[in-house]
């Protein structure tokens, strides 16, 4: 079961967890939005829990597991980490706190400070009996996990001594029986995995964080005012109560911490711990000290403590608690217990669990650096906002599929500035386009009005024309027709016109005979105009001109009734004029032969034309 989990529904995609993870065990691949924990690489430091503001990250809940143990027939012991003094400052007396734990159903309640004393003495023996090898303390499970997974070459330098949790568990089983079930209560998250590493008397059946313990108190409505005083079950610890402070283990071991003669360097906190391991690996022959390391700032600030804890206040509370316990301390009883339980096997071994990823190809790294605009001096620069010490380290993480280029703050800001500039330019162009659109719309409305007026004028003119006019489309459907055209059709067409003005949409093939509408088809298909074609329709001779308006799409026709006197007269004049024009050249040639006769012929023809042009005299009354 995974130790740390991310709830995507709560995640706000800030990637703060990715940036803070000391081992880059939280990845964001290019094709995904939400971060993903690589559980095999996770060291359980819990740092991601602290920086996740929406609370999307959680650790494995052990409350139900603990309640199952308490409901069984087995005896169950609670082992409390010494950090309780810094965490439960709201409880006025630690003896009330012990009875509150018993109220949950525990048969025994022990403090891990005695286990700290046992482990501290082993460290004293290891450090004072120096044989040329320097060690790193193995009390912090996150440090142990970090070295096993990311500095496997240093596993042999981890002190081969169990942690105080395991030591106290061994003590509890020796005193209260090997069938005893053990629940450890402490400030650490990685202890949930550490407890499962043992199968012998050091096995821990469940681990509750201080936060989970508070939740159980709330669930069962257990408060200080409802319980009595109750002390821890023996054995009782001595200076092991100082263990929550990073140098507390050395104080309990009686190891010199002086600058001149001290044999141990203590480092606490994420960055100090990481740097300490790196320098131990590179320069231990020059440093020549043992290292006492804690991932967090001592156990008082572990990820399983309440949020908002104040380090120095907790520091002071731990010391005050230790002083109170030592006022009436029974040193003889403690020495006897130390002798009895000092024979327990507190040794341990470590495993190399290399989780380091292969180093990516240099070309790929350079490509990524170029993308984020950091291809120069990348080994020396880096704002660390991405969570990596340098831009090159970040590029390596991207190449490994652990991060996305968007996590680079300067890259993101540059893109954002570019985006804002582009957006500003786009908005400017949009404003200009909108202004042009307004003008265009205004012009379009004006043109539309002009077109409407022009259309009305044209329609009026068409209606006034004595000639018939019709426009049809490529399917011989009427687009527009004037009254004269409709009047030349039958009665049925005129009735249709009452319903559909202008016969718009009517099929010309139903209005005219084949020899007539076929002329329209010819002009549409051949794009060849027909001028002055005589057509008989309804016993009337019509003069028809059909012409293209839109090639192969729209044609128009002008149709004149040749039986109307005005048209007949006009047509005769036109046709005689055409005859004169066509034969003038011939007449002129004949004139050379006939002399004055040609002039007389021309004058006679012209007089005929003029006579047709002259208006008829009105008849007199009585004539």
Question: CA torsion sign, 30 to 31 to 35 to 36?
Answer: negative
Q: Distance between CA 153 and CA 435 in Å, rounded? A: 71
Beta-carbon-side half-sphere exposure of residue 528 (alpha carbons within 13 Å): 4
Q: Distance between CA 195 and CA 163 in Å, rounded? A: 10
What local confidence, expressed as pLDDT, does residue 623 receive? Answer: 46
Yes or no: say if 55 and 216 are a contact pair by the CB < 8 Å rule. Answer: no
Q: Distance between CA 190 and CA 207 in Å, rounded? A: 10
In eight-state DSSP terms, residue 616 is P
Would you give the end-to-end CA distance of the chain in angstroms? 129
How far from chain centre, in Å, is Cα 298? 37
Yes or no: say if 61 and 432 are a contact pair by the CB < 8 Å rule. Answer: no
Ramachandran angles phi, psi of 66, nearest 5°? -65, -45
Rg of the chain over CA atoms, in angstroms?
52
Query: Measured between alpha carbons, how far is residue 91 from residues 40, 224, 305 in Å?
Result: 38, 7, 15
β-pair type (478-481, 530-537): unpaired
Look up residue 402 and give its two tokens.
């652990």
Classify domain 465-563 at the CATH class level.
Answer: alpha beta
Q: Distance between CA 194 and CA 424 in Å, rounded? A: 56
Largest CA distance in the chain: 169
Residue with tokens 């659109």: 437
Beta-carbon-side half-sphere exposure of residue 500 (alpha carbons within 13 Å): 13
What local confidence, expressed as pLDDT, does residue 313 receive? Answer: 92
Query: Measured between alpha carbons, how far is residue 497 from residues 45, 240, 506, 515, 520 in Å?
Result: 91, 111, 10, 23, 21
Rounded-to-10 torsion of CA 484, 490, 495, 501: -30
Ramachandran angles phi, psi of 108, nearest 5°? -135, 145
Could you tell me which residues come within 8 angstroms of residue 216 by beta carbon, excluding any fewer than 6 positions away? 63, 66, 67, 104, 208, 222
Q: Distance between CA 616 and CA 498 in Å, rounded? A: 38
Could you tell me which residues come within 8 angstroms of residue 158 by beta carbon, excluding any fewer than 6 positions away? 135, 136, 138, 144, 147, 350
Q: Distance between CA 194 and CA 191 in Å, rounded? A: 5
Q: Distance between CA 433 and CA 440 in Å, rounded? A: 10
pLDDT beneath 70: ranges in the chain:
1, 375-387, 389, 406, 409-421, 451-452, 454-464, 565-623
What local confidence, expressed as pLDDT, does residue 620 receive? Answer: 44
pTM of the full predicted structure? 0.67
**Nearest-5° Cα angle at 201, 196 to 202:** 45
Beta-carbon-side half-sphere exposure of residue 208 (alpha carbons within 13 Å): 25
Closest by CA to 3, choosing from 268, 195, 216, is 195
Q: Distance between CA 3 and CA 41 in Å, rounded? A: 11
Please list, residue by residue across 99-120, b when 16 or more beta carbons sit within 10 angstroms of its beta carbon and e when fewer do: bbbbbbebebbbbbbbbbbbbb
Yes or no: say if 549 and 556 are a contact pair by the CB < 8 Å rule. Answer: yes
Look up residue 546 and give its two tokens.
């059909």
Q: Distance between CA 261 and CA 257 in Å, rounded? A: 7
Closest by CA to 81, choosing from 272, 268, 321, 265, is 321
**Nearest-5° Cα angle at 166, 162 to 171:** 115
Look up residue 577 and give its two tokens.
């004029």
What local confidence, expressed as pLDDT, does residue 16 receive? Answer: 86
Residue with tokens 């057509």: 535
Q: Distance between CA 319 and CA 85 in Å, rounded? A: 9
Look up residue 347 and give its two tokens.
């040794």
Yes or no: say if 232 and 111 are a contact pair by the CB < 8 Å rule. Answer: yes
Closest by CA to 24, choosing from 409, 398, 380, is 398
Yes or no: say if 562 and 568 are a contact pair by the CB < 8 Å rule. Answer: yes
């Amino acid at each position: 079961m995974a130790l740390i989990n991310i709830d995507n529904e709560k995640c706000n995609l800030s990637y703060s967890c990715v940036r803070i993870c000391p081992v880059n065990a939280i990845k964001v691949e290019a094709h995904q939005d939400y971060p993903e924990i690589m559980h095999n690489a996770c060291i359980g430091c819990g740092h991601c829990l602290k920086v996740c503001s929406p609370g999307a990250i959680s650790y494995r809940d052990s409350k139900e597991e603990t309640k199952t143990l308490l409901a069984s027939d087995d005896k169950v012991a609670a082992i409390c980490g010494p950090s309780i003094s810094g965490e439960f400052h709201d409880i006025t007396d630690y003896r009330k706190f012990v009875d509150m734990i018993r109220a949950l159903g525990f048969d025994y309640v022990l403090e891990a400070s005695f286990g700290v004393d046992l482990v501290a003495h082993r460290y004293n023996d290891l450090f004072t009996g120096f044989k040329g090898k320097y060690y790193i303390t193995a009390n912090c499970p996150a440090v142990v996990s970090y070295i096993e997974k990311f500095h496997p070459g240093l596993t042999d330098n981890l002190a081969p001594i169990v942690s105080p949790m395991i030591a106290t568990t061994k003590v509890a089983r020796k005193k209260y029986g090997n069938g005893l079930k053990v629940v450890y209560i402490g400030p650490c998250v990685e202890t949930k995995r550490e407890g499962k590493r043992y199968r012998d008397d050091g096995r821990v059946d469940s681990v509750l964080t201080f936060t989970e313990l508070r939740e159980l108190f709330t669930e069962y409505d257990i408060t200080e005012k409802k319980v009595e005083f109750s002390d821890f079950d023996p054995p009782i610890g001595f200076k092991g109560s100082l263990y929550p402070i990073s140098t507390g283990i050395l104080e309990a071991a009686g190891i010199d911490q002086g600058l001149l003669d001290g044999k141990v360097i203590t480092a606490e906190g994420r960055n100090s711990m990481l740097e300490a391991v790196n320098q131990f690996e590179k320069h231990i022959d020059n440093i020549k000290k043992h290292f006492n390391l804690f991932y967090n700032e001592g156990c008082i600030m572990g990820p399983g403590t309440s949020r908002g804890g104040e380090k120095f206040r907790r520091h002071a509370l731990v010391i005050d608690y230790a002083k109170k316990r030592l006022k009436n301390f029974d040193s003889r009883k403690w020495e006897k217990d130390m002798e009895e339980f000092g024979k327990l096997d507190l040794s341990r071994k470590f495993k190399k669990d290399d989780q380091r990823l292969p180093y990516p190809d240099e070309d790929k790294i350079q490509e990524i650096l170029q993308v984020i605009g950091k291809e120069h001096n990348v080994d020396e620069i880096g704002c660390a906002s991405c969570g990596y010490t340098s831009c090159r380290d970040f590029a390596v993480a991207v190449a490994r599929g652990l991060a996305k280029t968007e996590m680079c703050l300067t890259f993101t800001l540059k893109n954002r500035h570019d985006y804002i500039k582009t957006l500003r330019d786009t908005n400017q162009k949009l404003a200009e386009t909108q202004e042009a659109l307004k003008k265009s719309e205004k012009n379009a409305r004006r043109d539309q009005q002009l077109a409407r007026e022009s259309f009305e004028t044209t329609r009026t003119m068409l209606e006034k024309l004595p000639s018939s006019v019709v426009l049809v489309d490529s399917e011989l459907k009427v687009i527009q027709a004037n009254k004269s055209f409709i009047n030349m059709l039958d009665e049925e067409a005129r009735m249709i016109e009452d319903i559909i003005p202008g016969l718009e949409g009517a099929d010309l093939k139903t209005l005219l005979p084949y020899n007539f509408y076929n002329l329209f088809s010819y002009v549409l298909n051949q794009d060849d105009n027909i001028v002055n074609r005589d057509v008989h329709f309804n016993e009337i001779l019509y003069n028809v001109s059909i012409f293209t308006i839109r090639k192969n799409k729209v044609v128009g026709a002008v149709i004149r009734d040749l039986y109307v006197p005005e048209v007949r007269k006009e047509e005769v004049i036109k046709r005689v004029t055409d005859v004169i024009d066509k034969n003038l050249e011939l007449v002129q040639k004949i004139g050379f032969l006939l002399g004055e006769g040609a002039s007389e012929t021309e004058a006679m023809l012209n007089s005929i034309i003029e006579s047709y042009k002259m208006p008829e005299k009105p008849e007199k009354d009585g004539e």
